[in-house]
Each structure stands twice: as structure tokens, then as C-alpha cells.
Structure 1
Amino acid sequence: MRVTLSDEARQHIALFEDVTGASAVDCVVDETHDQVLFVVAAGEMGQAIGPDGRRVNRLEDRIGEDVELVEDAPTPEGFVANALAPAAVYNVTLSENDDLVAYAEVDHADHGAAIGVNGRNIEAAKRLANRHFDVDDIQLT
């Protein structure tokens, strides 16, 4: 799927790469939840976060919004698991009837982390999974 970036998202990606030294493959400004979502190139999450979270904290200070990072993955299952982190995701299966639905098996103790305050985390995961893999919904099991 082809991802379209707004001018604001492109500017945020340039700043992200300048501050962190990591590559971002997508950026979504989520005004509903006052956050900016970055999809970080696979294998570059540690670089993006930095020691003790210093790089991502510096980025948040520069942007003036909460920043959430999701590591890219080559498959929709891997992407959904990454998008729900730090929740422990044991397995993701896809089911396609009329819609493409990802069923994520999440540790019971981590359901709250996967959902987030007011559904913030699960909604971000759904939005990004839809942008990158045409996943219509994510259900926690």
C-alpha cells in the first residue's frame, strides 16, 4: 500500500531523522490524541529511542507533542504486534471475510497497555495497520 504524507508529516520526519539519526518510513499527526506517530525503519528502534530515551524525549520537546514510535515490519502480523508494543503479543492471525481483521493474542495482564488510556494505543495501531497493510480492524484476544 502506498502511504501519502502531508507537508507537516514530511517536516516531522526530517526533524525525527535529524534528532534521532534513525529513519522514519511514516508519520501521522494525530490531533485527536495530541500525539505524533512515527513508523521507524525495521531494526532502528534503539537508535530512535536513544540511551535512556534521550533522543525521543528531545524530539518530543522539539515537536511539543507526545511522540509514539512503532517499528516497521514486512508482514501485517509483525506490524500489528509491533504497533501494540509494549504489550506482550503472543500471536497475530488475519481473517478476511468482508474486512481484513487482525486478531492479536495479548497477555491478559497487558490488555490495558494494548488499549491505552481512552483507547489511544489501539486506535493508533488500527490507523497505522490500515495505512500500511489495509487491515480494517484489530481485535484483542
Structure 2
Amino acid sequence: MYVELSDEARRYIGRFDELTGVAPTDCLVEGDRLVFLVPAGEMASAIGQAGETVEEAERRLDLSIELIEDADTPEAFVANALSPAAVNAVTISEQNDRVAYVEVRDADRGVAIGADGSNIETARRLAKRHHDIDDIQLT
């Protein structure tokens, strides 16, 4: 699926690649937070030993950075987007709209939703952009 990036997002992707050696496939600029979509299998390189690489990128960019690992299937993608919440199952309904129903432990609902709904909204935006999922609902 084709994702259109803003010039600002492209600049942050390039800068993150320079700093970490990992080229994200997408970037959401959300106020004082950047959300990078990291290719599958490259999360460890993007984070670095004990988080040193991503912490240095945060310091140099002067923004908070969140990393989400890409996945081949929509179900795995949604689970990764809601991490670190423990996702038990993801079911994609293809009725009128494409909706991902996500089963999370009660203890992890707050983590999946995030402060003021920021985590689930980010997951919704990325799922729409990369897998044409219209909504994500927690069950």
C-alpha cells in the first residue's frame, strides 16, 4: 500500500536513518512525539544496546520517539502497533468496514489506549495507512 509522507516526516525519517542506521518506512509527527514504523526484524538495531541508540536519537532530535515494528499480516501489525500491551488475539471483520477487534488483558487496556487515547489513535492511523483498516476496537 502506498503511503504519502509529508516533507517534515521525510526529513525525520532521513535523520533517524542517519543516527541509527535503520530506515523507517513511515513516520507520524504528533506534536512533541515522533512515531516511526521500523521494518520487521530491525527493531533491535533501532533500539540499540539498552536503548542507547533510540535515546541518542531522541536527544539529537529533541523529541520523544516511539518505535513500532512492521508486520506482514494486518493482525500482527495491529498487535505490534498496540505494544507493549499484551494482545491475546486480533480478528479482522470485513463487513461494511474493515474493523480489527483486539482482545487485550484487562490489566493492559490502559496501556493499549494510552494517555488521552494517544496509543490507540496512533495504531488506528497506522493501520489505516498500511492495511486499510477503518477502526480498531478493544474487546
TM-score by length of 1: 0.94
Distance 1:131 1:62 in 2: 28
Describe the SS at the equivalent of 2:84. coil
Describe the SS at the equivalent of 1:139. strand
2:100 to 99, 102, 124: 102
Deviations 1:38-95 (A, max 9, x none): 0000000011011111111111112222111110001111100000000111110000
Correspondence for 1:26:
26
Paired letter, 1:51: Q
Describe the SS at the equivalent of 1:70. strand
Q: Is the 8 A contact 1:105 1:140 kept in 2?
A: yes
**Structure 1 residue runs without a partner (length 5+):** none
Q: Is the 8 A contact 2:58 2:65 kept in 1?
A: yes
| Identity over aligned pairs, percent | 58
Q: CA deviation at 1:97?
A: 1.6
- Report the count of equivalent residues: 139
Q: Is the 8 A contact 1:103 1:138 kept in 2?
A: yes
TM-score by length of 2: 0.96
Correspondence for 1:78:
76
Q: Is the 8 A contact 2:14 2:23 kept in 1?
A: no
Distance 1:138 1:29 in 2: 20
Correspondence for 1:88:
86
Q: CA deviation at 1:113?
A: 0.6
